[in-house]
A and B are shown apart, each in its own frame.
Chain A
Protein backbone atom coordinates (compact mmCIF):
# COMPACT_ATOMS: atom_id res chain seq x y z
CA UNK A 1 0.00 0.00 0.00
CA UNK A 2 1.46 3.40 -0.95
CA UNK A 3 -0.81 5.64 1.10
CA UNK A 4 0.07 7.78 4.10
CA UNK A 5 1.12 5.65 7.06
CA UNK A 6 1.30 6.63 10.71
CA UNK A 7 2.88 4.96 13.67
CA UNK A 8 1.90 4.10 16.32
CA UNK A 9 -1.83 3.83 15.74
CA UNK A 10 -2.54 4.00 19.45
CA UNK A 11 -0.52 5.37 22.33
CA UNK A 12 -1.43 5.43 26.01
CA UNK A 13 0.85 7.42 28.25
CA UNK A 14 0.95 8.98 31.67
CA UNK A 15 0.77 12.70 32.18
CA UNK A 16 4.19 14.30 31.98
CA UNK A 17 5.71 11.72 29.63
CA UNK A 18 6.98 12.53 26.14
CA UNK A 19 5.51 10.87 23.05
CA UNK A 20 6.57 10.84 19.42
CA UNK A 21 4.48 10.06 16.35
CA UNK A 22 5.83 9.24 12.93
CA UNK A 23 4.26 9.89 9.54
CA UNK A 24 5.37 8.50 6.18
CA UNK A 25 3.68 10.45 3.37
CA UNK A 26 2.98 9.32 -0.16
CA UNK A 27 6.43 9.21 -1.70
CA UNK A 28 6.06 11.85 -4.42
CA UNK A 29 4.18 14.32 -2.20
CA UNK A 30 6.22 17.36 -1.21
CA UNK A 31 3.75 18.77 1.31
CA UNK A 32 3.05 17.26 4.69
CA UNK A 33 0.51 18.37 7.29
CA UNK A 34 -0.29 17.55 10.89
CA UNK A 35 -3.82 17.93 12.22
CA UNK A 36 -5.38 17.22 15.61
CA UNK A 37 -8.89 15.89 15.99
CA UNK A 38 -10.79 15.63 19.27
CA UNK A 39 -13.93 13.57 19.73
CA UNK A 40 -16.90 14.90 17.80
CA UNK A 41 -14.93 17.65 16.08
CA UNK A 42 -13.35 18.19 12.73
CA UNK A 43 -9.58 18.14 12.30
CA UNK A 44 -7.71 21.27 13.37
CA UNK A 45 -4.55 22.35 11.57
CA UNK A 46 -1.32 22.16 13.56
CA UNK A 47 1.57 22.59 11.14
CA UNK A 48 2.69 22.20 7.57
CA UNK A 49 5.93 21.36 5.72
CA UNK A 50 6.97 21.89 2.17
CA UNK A 51 9.84 19.47 1.65
CA UNK A 52 11.95 19.85 4.82
CA UNK A 53 10.90 23.42 5.60
CA UNK A 54 8.24 24.00 8.25
CA UNK A 55 6.34 26.88 6.69
CA UNK A 56 3.38 27.33 8.97
CA UNK A 57 2.42 26.63 12.58
CA UNK A 58 -0.95 27.04 14.26
CA UNK A 59 -1.47 28.79 17.58
CA UNK A 60 -2.55 25.33 18.77
CA UNK A 61 1.05 24.19 18.52
CA UNK A 62 2.37 25.14 21.95
CA UNK A 63 6.07 25.06 22.79
CA UNK A 64 5.61 21.51 24.11
CA UNK A 65 4.99 20.39 20.54
CA UNK A 66 7.71 20.06 17.94
CA UNK A 67 7.56 18.68 14.43
CA UNK A 68 10.35 17.84 12.04
CA UNK A 69 10.77 16.58 8.53
CA UNK A 70 14.54 16.31 8.32
CA UNK A 71 15.02 14.95 4.81
CA UNK A 72 11.77 16.04 3.28
CA UNK A 73 10.34 12.56 3.51
CA UNK A 74 8.93 11.22 6.80
CA UNK A 75 7.95 13.51 9.65
CA UNK A 76 7.82 13.23 13.42
CA UNK A 77 5.57 15.04 15.87
CA UNK A 78 6.82 15.08 19.46
CA UNK A 79 4.79 16.16 22.46
CA UNK A 80 6.78 16.85 25.62
CA UNK A 81 5.37 16.76 29.15
CA UNK A 82 2.01 15.50 27.94
CA UNK A 83 -1.19 16.80 29.53
CA UNK A 84 -4.63 15.22 29.61
CA UNK A 85 -5.82 17.89 27.18
CA UNK A 86 -3.42 16.48 24.59
CA UNK A 87 -5.59 13.37 24.29
CA UNK A 88 -6.75 13.35 20.67
CA UNK A 89 -6.27 11.76 17.28
CA UNK A 90 -3.22 13.14 15.48
CA UNK A 91 -3.70 13.00 11.74
CA UNK A 92 -0.99 13.31 9.12
CA UNK A 93 -1.73 14.23 5.53
CA UNK A 94 0.28 14.83 2.39
CA UNK A 95 -0.33 16.51 -0.94
CA UNK A 96 1.27 17.54 -4.18
CA UNK A 97 1.97 21.17 -4.94
CA UNK A 98 -1.16 22.64 -6.40
CA UNK A 99 -1.24 23.00 -10.14
CA UNK A 100 -3.33 20.79 -12.33
CA UNK A 101 -4.65 18.90 -9.33
CA UNK A 102 -7.12 20.18 -6.78
CA UNK A 103 -4.54 19.97 -4.01
CA UNK A 104 -6.61 17.58 -1.96
CA UNK A 105 -4.98 16.18 1.14
CA UNK A 106 -4.42 12.45 1.50
CA UNK A 107 -4.72 11.41 5.12
CA UNK A 108 -3.30 8.56 7.15
CA UNK A 109 -5.37 6.59 9.64
CA UNK A 110 -4.13 8.69 12.53
CA UNK A 111 -2.38 8.13 15.84
CA UNK A 112 -4.72 8.11 18.80
CA UNK A 113 -3.17 9.49 21.99
CA UNK A 114 -4.63 8.89 25.43
CA UNK A 115 -3.01 10.70 28.33
CA UNK A 116 -3.89 9.26 31.74
Chain B
Protein backbone atom coordinates (compact mmCIF):
# COMPACT_ATOMS: atom_id res chain seq x y z
CA UNK B 1 0.00 0.00 0.00
CA UNK B 2 1.09 3.54 -0.63
CA UNK B 3 1.44 6.05 2.13
CA UNK B 4 2.53 9.67 2.43
CA UNK B 5 3.55 11.01 5.82
CA UNK B 6 3.87 14.67 6.72
CA UNK B 7 4.92 14.90 10.37
CA UNK B 8 4.72 18.68 10.78
CA UNK B 9 1.11 19.80 11.34
CA UNK B 10 2.25 23.42 11.56
CA UNK B 11 5.37 25.41 10.77
CA UNK B 12 6.34 29.04 11.28
CA UNK B 13 8.97 30.93 9.31
CA UNK B 14 10.13 34.51 9.29
CA UNK B 15 9.57 36.44 6.10
CA UNK B 16 12.56 36.23 3.69
CA UNK B 17 13.94 33.11 5.37
CA UNK B 18 13.99 29.59 3.94
CA UNK B 19 11.82 26.77 5.26
CA UNK B 20 11.78 22.99 4.73
CA UNK B 21 8.54 21.01 4.81
CA UNK B 22 9.05 17.31 5.41
CA UNK B 23 7.51 14.46 3.43
CA UNK B 24 8.25 10.75 3.57
CA UNK B 25 6.61 8.13 1.44
CA UNK B 26 6.20 4.41 1.27
CA UNK B 27 5.82 2.40 -1.89
CA UNK B 28 7.17 -0.83 -3.28
CA UNK B 29 7.08 0.52 -6.82
CA UNK B 30 10.28 1.47 -8.61
CA UNK B 31 8.62 4.05 -10.83
CA UNK B 32 6.58 6.76 -9.14
CA UNK B 33 6.02 10.50 -9.10
CA UNK B 34 6.04 12.92 -6.19
CA UNK B 35 4.12 16.18 -6.13
CA UNK B 36 3.73 19.18 -3.86
CA UNK B 37 0.58 21.27 -3.80
CA UNK B 38 -0.28 24.49 -1.99
CA UNK B 39 -3.78 25.11 -0.67
CA UNK B 40 -4.53 28.69 0.41
CA UNK B 41 -7.59 29.50 2.46
CA UNK B 42 -9.62 29.90 -0.76
CA UNK B 43 -9.49 26.10 -1.12
CA UNK B 44 -7.93 25.64 -4.55
CA UNK B 45 -5.06 23.16 -4.74
CA UNK B 46 -2.16 24.75 -6.63
CA UNK B 47 0.51 22.52 -8.18
CA UNK B 48 4.02 23.58 -7.18
CA UNK B 49 6.60 21.01 -8.19
CA UNK B 50 7.09 17.45 -9.46
CA UNK B 51 9.86 14.87 -9.02
CA UNK B 52 10.01 11.60 -10.90
CA UNK B 53 11.61 8.64 -9.17
CA UNK B 54 14.15 8.24 -11.96
CA UNK B 55 15.04 11.93 -12.14
CA UNK B 56 18.67 12.29 -11.14
CA UNK B 57 18.48 15.97 -10.37
CA UNK B 58 16.36 17.53 -7.66
CA UNK B 59 13.44 19.45 -9.15
CA UNK B 60 13.38 23.23 -8.89
CA UNK B 61 10.67 25.74 -9.77
CA UNK B 62 11.50 29.33 -8.91
CA UNK B 63 11.65 29.62 -5.12
CA UNK B 64 10.59 25.99 -4.69
CA UNK B 65 12.96 23.06 -4.71
CA UNK B 66 12.44 19.43 -3.86
CA UNK B 67 15.10 17.70 -1.78
CA UNK B 68 14.70 14.14 -3.06
CA UNK B 69 16.48 11.41 -1.10
CA UNK B 70 15.41 8.17 -2.69
CA UNK B 71 17.12 5.80 -0.28
CA UNK B 72 15.44 7.53 2.65
CA UNK B 73 12.15 7.77 0.76
CA UNK B 74 11.88 11.45 1.49
CA UNK B 75 10.81 14.34 -0.73
CA UNK B 76 11.09 17.51 1.29
CA UNK B 77 9.94 20.85 -0.11
CA UNK B 78 12.25 23.80 0.37
CA UNK B 79 10.84 27.29 0.00
CA UNK B 80 13.48 29.98 -0.22
CA UNK B 81 12.96 33.66 0.62
CA UNK B 82 9.53 33.12 2.19
CA UNK B 83 6.82 35.64 1.43
CA UNK B 84 3.64 36.45 3.35
CA UNK B 85 1.65 34.98 0.46
CA UNK B 86 3.28 31.60 1.09
CA UNK B 87 1.11 31.15 4.18
CA UNK B 88 -1.08 28.15 3.29
CA UNK B 89 -1.50 24.40 3.69
CA UNK B 90 1.08 22.35 1.82
CA UNK B 91 0.42 18.80 0.69
CA UNK B 92 2.83 16.16 -0.51
CA UNK B 93 1.37 13.58 -2.88
CA UNK B 94 2.48 10.48 -4.77
CA UNK B 95 1.36 8.60 -7.81
CA UNK B 96 2.56 5.02 -8.19
CA UNK B 97 1.37 2.13 -10.37
CA UNK B 98 0.37 -0.16 -7.52
CA UNK B 99 -1.97 2.47 -6.16
CA UNK B 100 -3.39 3.27 -9.56
CA UNK B 101 -1.39 5.04 -12.21
CA UNK B 102 -3.96 7.75 -12.48
CA UNK B 103 -4.77 9.11 -9.04
CA UNK B 104 -2.71 10.82 -6.35
CA UNK B 105 -2.37 9.80 -2.71
CA UNK B 106 -2.01 12.82 -0.43
CA UNK B 107 -0.45 13.35 2.98
CA UNK B 108 -2.24 15.14 5.79
CA UNK B 109 -0.56 18.45 5.09
CA UNK B 110 1.53 21.10 6.84
CA UNK B 111 0.11 24.51 7.71
CA UNK B 112 2.81 27.09 6.99
CA UNK B 113 2.59 30.53 8.53
CA UNK B 114 4.99 33.24 7.35
CA UNK B 115 5.59 35.90 9.98
CA UNK B 116 6.30 39.53 9.04
On A, residues with C-beta under 8 Å from B are 31, 33, 40-45, 48, 50, 55-56, 89, 91, 93, 98, 102-110, 112
Contact = CB atoms under 8 A, between A and B. Distances in A.
A41 B44 contact: no
**The 3 A-B residue pairs with the shortest CB-CB distance in the complex, in nearest-first order:** A42-B106, A107-B45, A102-B50
Interface in B81-116: 91, 93, 95, 100-109
B43 A109 contact: yes
Interface string B47-62: 1001010000000000
Nearest to B92: A42
A105 B109 contact: no
Contacts of B50: 102, 104
B103 A48 contact: yes
B100 A42 contact: no
Nearest to B37: A107
Nearest to B4: A42
9 contacts: A42-B4, A43-B45, A44-B106, A56-B103, A89-B43, A93-B45, A104-B50, A109-B42, A109-B44
